[in-house]
Chain A
Amino acid sequence: DGGITQSPKYLFRKEGQNVTLSCEQNLNHDAMYWYRQDPGQGLRLIYYSQIVNDFQKGDIAEGYSVSREKKESFPLTVTSAQKNPTAFYLCATGTAYEQYFGPGTRLTVT
């Protein structure tokens, strides 16, 4: 089965803990993206990567970190420095002509 995998679907953490969200793809896409979506709001770009071992900050990178060691994987770490981490996190991959989203991870931090 091909596509974009994000795990887990729901994640619960205590405040002060770092948490890493997984994003894996087998579409052979070069570009990968991380967004967050808050209730009733649009998607905001956190980080994106066009190629292995390279990534750029998006509009709201503070409190987040990423790595791109393999083409297939683009994990996102939500650090304790992120002030409002509870959100719906979406990973996307794409080519020049299309971009697809994974199913998302709902993170709740209490």
Chain B
Amino acid sequence: GQNIDQPTEMTATEGAIVQINCTYQTSGFNGLFWYQQHAGEAPTFLSYNVLDGLEEKGRFSSFLSRSKGYSYLLLKELQMKDSASYLCAVRDQDYKLSFGAGTTVTVRA
């Protein structure tokens, strides 16, 4: 099975940087995904990591360390619209994708 942990809530100021950590334990790692979910809506795909290192996409970056079972999502130049829940998901060798409980990020002016 898979055990995925991420903080429940984080608060940051507009224009700042926030780092959301995700630790996982899985049998047969086959990729890690990050999603953004606004209240009442479906999740939207942000990033995918399968090799160690940093993937950058505009204001969002995602890092993976397979040996440590660790990933983080970095949100830079925070905007009010970034207030949302951020979901970490891990895929195993059977292509089963399991999600953490999500981190609610609140951006304050």
Contact = CB atoms under 8 A, between A and B. Distances in A.
A50 to B, nearest CB: 6
A31 interface: yes
A101 B42 contact: yes
B95 A31 contact: yes
Interface of A is mostly: strand
B97 A102 contact: no
A58 B96 contact: yes
A31 B48 CA distance: 16
Interface residues of A, number: 25
Contacts of B44: 101
A85 interface: no
Contact of A103 (B31, B42, B94): B42
Interface in A74-110: 90, 92, 94, 96-104
A42 B42 contact: no
B95 A42 contact: no
Interface in B7-46: 31, 33, 35, 41-45
Given A97-B48, A98-B48, A99-B33, A43 B99 contact: yes
18 contacts: A35-B99, A41-B101, A42-B87, A42-B99, A43-B43, A44-B99, A45-B97, A48-B96, A48-B97, A59-B98, A94-B97, A96-B31, A97-B31, A99-B97, A101-B43, A101-B44, A102-B42, A104-B42
Interface of B: 31, 33, 35, 41-45, 48, 50, 87, 89, 94-102
Interchain residue pairs A-B with the least CB separation, the first 3: A42-B101, A101-B42, A43-B99
